[in-house]
């Protein structure tokens, strides 16, 4: 069945290293969301794309985070350089074109630990 | 800035009990409100979405209500089962680019 996939599922890295997380939205979906979940802050929207164009990345620290959609089947979230406070679970979600508002399908997440 | 609160953070009940999960939000100018379920180590699954013009939505043993003027929503679970154990999050949409603001969730444990 159609699902959002994310890789890697787990990542442990050292402070200062570059981290790239990947998301494959459900085929045919044209909206992609990146969220970060921590115990302290809960779930926060980092960036949002529609038809591969960024619509809202106001939740993303611009100095170290970047989000792109090289093509319709791949979304990436990059952190460079990574810091311990970036440790969290990062979720990608996709939505269909013309879907009702907020019809978002979530991937399983990437658990990032920065030492 | 919209803030969404879910209290308590955790709840434990015996199997078979009917229960209510609460969600409150500070800005009543919402487009809609959604309840999600999250299992450990998994992503979120949408349970119910209530448009701002609606008062409630039902799906099986779940019923969600919305009182926009008071900034409150409740998720009612009838005849709870151990399989209902999960974290339940509510999220509100203010309409700006379908941006969702999430509560921190309520972790529910249903004891056999």
pLDDT in tens, chain A (115 residues): 689 999 999 999 999 999 999 999 999 999 999 999 998 888 999 998 989 998 888 888 889 999 999 999 999 999 999 999 999 999 999 988 875 556 788 999 999 999 9
Candidate from B43, B49, B105 with C-beta closest to A108:
B43
Residue pair B64/B73 in contact (Cβ under 8 Å)? The answer is yes
A22-36 tens-digit pLDDT: 999 999 999 999 999
CA dihedral for B48, A111, A94, A50, sign (positive or negative): positive
Chain B nearest C-alpha distance from A101 (Å): 7
Candidate from B46, B98, B103 with C-beta closest to A42:
B103
| Contact (CB<8Å) A42/B41 | no
Candidate from B45, B99, B102 with C-beta closest to A43:
B102
For chain B, 112 residues long, give each residue's pLDDT as a single digit of tens: 889 999 999 999 999 999 999 999 999 988 889 999 999 888 899 999 998 899 999 999 999 999 999 999 999 999 999 999 999 999 998 766 667 889 999 999 999 9
What are residue B107's DSSP bridge partners?
B10, B87
- Distances from the Cα of B90 to the Cα of B48, B71, B104, angstroms: 10, 12, 8
Chain B nearest C-alpha distance from A80 (Å): 25
| Angle value at C-alpha B110, between B107 and B112, nearest 5 degrees | 155
SS3 A40: coil
Residue pair A3/A105 in contact (Cβ under 8 Å)? The answer is yes
Q: What residues of chain A lie within 8 A of the CB of B3, using their CB?
A: none
């Amino acid at each position: 069945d159609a699902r959002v996939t994310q890789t890697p599922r787990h990542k442990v890295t050292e402070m200062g290293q570059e981290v790239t997380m990947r998301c494959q939205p459900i085929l045919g979906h044209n909206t992609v969301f990146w969220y970060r979940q921590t115990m302290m802050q809960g779930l926060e929207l980092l960036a949002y794309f529609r038809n591969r164009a960024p619509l809202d990345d106001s939740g993303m620290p611009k100095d170290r985070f970047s989000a792109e959609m090289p093509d319709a089947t791949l979304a990436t979230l990059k952190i460079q350089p990574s810091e311990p406070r970036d440790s969290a679970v990062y979720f990608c979600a996709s939505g269909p074109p013309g879907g009702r508002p907020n019809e978002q399908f979530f991937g399983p997440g990437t658990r990032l630990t920065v030492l | 800035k919209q803030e969404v609160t879910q209290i308590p953070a955790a709840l434990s009940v015996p199997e078979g009990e009917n229960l209510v999960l609460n969600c409150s939000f500070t800005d009543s100018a919402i487009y809609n409100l959604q309840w999600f379920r999250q299992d450990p180590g998994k992503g979120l699954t949408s349970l119910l979405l209530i448009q701002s013009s609606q008062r409630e939505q039902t799906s099986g043993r779940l019923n969600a209500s919305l009182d926009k003027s008071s900034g409150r929503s409740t998720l009612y679970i009838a005849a709870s089962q151990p399989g209902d154990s999960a974290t339940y999050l509510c999220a509100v949409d203010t309409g700006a680019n379908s941006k969702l603001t999430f509560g921190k969730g309520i972790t529910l444990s249903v004891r056999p």
